[in-house]
Structure 1
Amino acid sequence: MALLRKLGFYLVALFAAVTFNFAIPRLLPGNPVDILLGKLTVAGPVSPGTRQALEVLFGSDTSTPIWQQYIEYLKSIATGDFGVSVTYFPTPVVDVITSALPWTLVLVGLTSLITFIVGVSLGTVAGWKRGTWVDSIIPATTILHALPYFWFALVLVYFLSIQLGWFPLSGGYNVRTSSPGFNGPFILSALYHAVLPALTIVVSSIGGWILGMRNMMVSTLSEDYVVTAEAKGLSPRRVMVMYAARNASLPSFTGFAISLGFIVGGSVVMEQVFSYPGIGNAFLLSVQNNDYALMQALFLIITIAVLFTNLIVDLFYSVLDPRTRAHR
């Protein structure tokens, strides 16, 4: 019953998010058809029939009742047909997402996972050895975490790219020497171009995980079950990992679940600074061009990712914290 209640809650949240996803783009000023017509008129005059056809294509036909647009929108979600993108016209939205999503998942996903694991591990050790030299590294990491994300990215670009020339300024790979595909030159080029964006993500966010885990460890070490485990003569490593860190990491797992969901949305600032071809860049362009179809598809993917990861972590809580099973 508890599982069914959780699933019901997430389904209601998904329905509400889908409804807001339909309404918000239509409340924004501007019209995607006007933006596209502005591009088409460069080649010559556009007939009224063309405008009406484009309005129907992009779902902005004012003659169609809003409820009927909503029904068509739900049908498009069920079939996976999100229409044509205004920004990348005439490319379908699905093709835009499938080409940009792997870049974001590989770069932001892997770096976020590595940052979380390293940050929580260092925070565990710093909290366990509080007052020692290990604990003294916390102020340095918090200073890095407080730096503006975009500012740190620009600093890396200036020193490591412009001044030293160690890394490329922008892009996801070298278009002159490699072509996208599972081949050596492309993979090496993509990794080389990903160094600075990955370094930006790791350095800017690892301090938050370390500080949060360290503070939770310090608080947990005073709990009765930890004191009892130490009194039983258990090894310090087992007490640190199985008793202290296991319970102290619960808030970190919650935060990581939320961050995992937003990985799909990418890092808009990072991708803009480095001109990285990911979801964040596509999302910003869709907002600038009132690209309803692309915006709605990206919103939907981000929503599903956030809800799904939170559901998984919510269910995983019963493994990490047996006390939660008593209420199920």
Structure 2
Amino acid sequence: MRYLIRRLGFFVLTLWAAMTLNFFIPRMMPGSPEQALRERFSKGGSVVSPEQLRTVLAEFGFDPDKNILLQYVEYLKAMVTGHWGVSVGSSLGVPVTSLIGDALPWTLGLVGISTVLAFVLGTLIGTIAGWRRGGLIDGIVPPVFIVTSALPYFWVALLLISLFAIGNNPLLPNDFNYEQGLTPGFNGEFILSVLKHGILPAGTILITAVGGWILTMRNNMIATLAEDYVRMARAKGIPNRRIMFGYAGRNAFLPNLSGFAMSLGFVISGTILVEYVFNYPGLGYMFYNATVSTDYPLLQALFLLVTLAVLICVLLCDFAVFLLDPRARTKG
């Protein structure tokens, strides 16, 4: 119980610190919502006075006339109660919750599935490579994927686009999340279009993410295989497959849980460069647009979601390790 209370207290304290940074960092960025709105209105040929701009901003939940401390208190209240305001950026006047609700499923479907798949494949390949250290798999696969994991997201994305989506007979689409003109729905044509549009961005994430999991799992396996309990299992004549997965693999897997929890948490933000290159309408692309248009309400809500996702995933990971590893229960 003390361990649970301590972890929950750390969760609350970290969340408060992150929310505080979330309030002040956007206000330190160049520009302001007032300046962004003035530029947007001027492009449309409209002329508005500073008083009118301030009135519009106040209606959107941002009132620069209020004391910064009062703004901070109202911000904390709004974040906790879910009243995240409306966009003052490119989607002027649209509720932030509506914007996030539209983009969140696409990011979870693309980045979430790709991240989990990269972790599963990387863990499996790393387990086999560590078990057969010096073999063919260990000599070829980890070095190749370690190199690919060091490549920039946008470079891999552009390479895949040039290989599969450019030419007289492109194999795969490289733009948006489904064919324009289709009506979204649970039908074969729409689902097939979504899957086709997700292959290249998902492949980009897989190529750049799987190598890290392979390397960490391989190193964990090599360290675990030197433990006395593994030698004892071999001396008892236990089958190699059971030793690899039930003894060495299980214990080598535990240190990877924290990293996996962090990566799952950051799924909520999407892979910004990947979504931007492929014009994929997820949260990562929304992050970019909100930053460019100085959309404080949307930026604050997105940062809050990322913070919550990371903290919750790390907290669940701590509890999972606590349940799976007797040594953690003893230390706890």
Which interval holds the TM-score relative to the shorter structure?
Answer: over 0.9
Q: Supply the distance in 2 between the matched residues of 1:78 and 1:207 (Cα, whole angstroms).
A: 38
Q: Supply the distance in 2 between the matched residues of 1:99 and 1:288 (Cα, whole angstroms).
A: 20
Q: Supply the distance in 2 between the matched residues of 1:182 and 1:50 (Cα, whole angstroms).
A: 45
Map of 1:195 onto structure 2: 199
Map of 1:57 onto structure 2: 59
Q: Supply the distance in 2 between the matched residues of 1:23 and 1:278 (Cα, whole angstroms).
A: 25
Cα displacement (A) at 1:34: 1.9
Superposition pairs of residues 77-88 of structure 1, within 5 angstroms: 77-87=79-89, 88=91
Q: Supply the distance in 2 between the matched residues of 1:237 and 1:66 (Cα, whole angstroms).
A: 62
**Partner-residue secondary structure (3-state), 1:170:** coil
Contact persistence 1:161–1:167 (CA under 8 A)? yes
Q: Supply the distance in 1 between the matched residues of 2:185 and 2:73 (Cα, whole angstroms).
A: 38
Q: Specify which of 94, 101, 104 is matched with residue 98 of structure 1.
A: 101
Q: Supply the distance in 2 between the matched residues of 1:146 and 1:321 (Cα, whole angstroms).
A: 32
Map of 2:171 onto structure 1: 166
Contact persistence 1:58–1:292 (CA under 8 A)? no
Q: Specify which of 119, 124, 138 is matched with residue 127 of structure 2.
A: 124
Q: Supply the distance in 1 between the matched residues of 2:74 and 2:188 (Cα, whole angstroms).
A: 44
Cα displacement (A) at 1:129: 1.1
Contact persistence 1:33–1:54 (CA under 8 A)? no
Q: Supply the distance in 1 between the matched residues of 2:98 and 2:126 (Cα, whole angstroms).
A: 41
Contact persistence 2:37–2:53 (CA under 8 A)? no
Map of 1:36 onto structure 2: 37
Q: Supply the distance in 2 between the matched residues of 1:110 and 1:219 (Cα, whole angstroms).
A: 29
Map of 1:264 onto structure 2: 268
Contact persistence 1:265–1:280 (CA under 8 A)? yes
Q: Deviations over 1:160-195 (max 9, x none)?
A: 00035001121111112x122333322211111001
Amino acid at match of 2:170: G
Whether 2:194 is the aligned partner of 1:221: answer no
TM-score normalised by structure 1 residue count: 0.96
Cα displacement (A) at 1:307: 0.1
Contact persistence 2:61–2:86 (CA under 8 A)? no
Map of 2:142 onto structure 1: 138
Contact persistence 2:34–2:54 (CA under 8 A)? no
Cα displacement (A) at 1:237: 1.5
Cα displacement (A) at 1:132: 1.5
Map of 1:175 onto structure 2: 180
Map of 2:284 onto structure 1: 280
Contact persistence 1:123–1:209 (CA under 8 A)? yes
Q: Specify which of 243, 250, 254 is matched with residue 246 of structure 1.
A: 250
**Partner-residue secondary structure (3-state), 1:138:** helix
Q: Supply the distance in 2 between the matched residues of 1:318 and 1:297 (Cα, whole angstroms).
A: 31
Contact persistence 1:119–1:206 (CA under 8 A)? yes
Map of 1:27 onto structure 2: 28
Cα displacement (A) at 1:196: 0.4
**Partner-residue secondary structure (3-state), 1:234:** coil
**Partner-residue secondary structure (3-state), 1:168:** coil
Contact persistence 1:246–1:320 (CA under 8 A)? no
Q: Supply the distance in 2 between the matched residues of 1:71 and 1:148 (Cα, whole angstroms).
A: 40
- Unmatched tracts of structure 2, length 5 or more: none
Q: Specify which of 209, 212, 234 is matched with residue 213 of structure 2.
A: 209
Amino acid at match of 1:322: P
Map of 2:71 onto structure 1: 69
Cα displacement (A) at 1:58: 4.1
Relative to structure 1, is the Cα distance of residues 146 and 162 closer, same or farther in structure 2, using a 3 angstrom cutoff? same
CA RMSD of aligned residues (A): 1.4
Contact persistence 2:119–2:260 (CA under 8 A)? yes
Q: Supply the distance in 1 between the matched residues of 2:94 and 2:62 (Cα, whole angstroms).
A: 18
Q: Supply the distance in 1 between the matched residues of 2:30 and 2:142 (Cα, whole angstroms).
A: 46
Contact persistence 2:130–2:218 (CA under 8 A)? yes
Cα displacement (A) at 1:46: 1.5
Amino acid at match of 1:213: M
**Partner-residue secondary structure (3-state), 1:91:** coil
**Partner-residue secondary structure (3-state), 2:166:** helix
Amino acid at match of 1:243: Y
Superposition pairs of residues 4-23 of structure 1, within 5 angstroms: 4-23=5-24
Find runs of 4+ consecutive structure 1 residues off by over 6 angstroms.
none
Q: Supply the distance in 2 between the matched residues of 1:57 and 1:224 (Cα, whole angstroms).
A: 67
Q: Supply the distance in 2 between the matched residues of 1:321 and 1:98 (Cα, whole angstroms).
A: 37
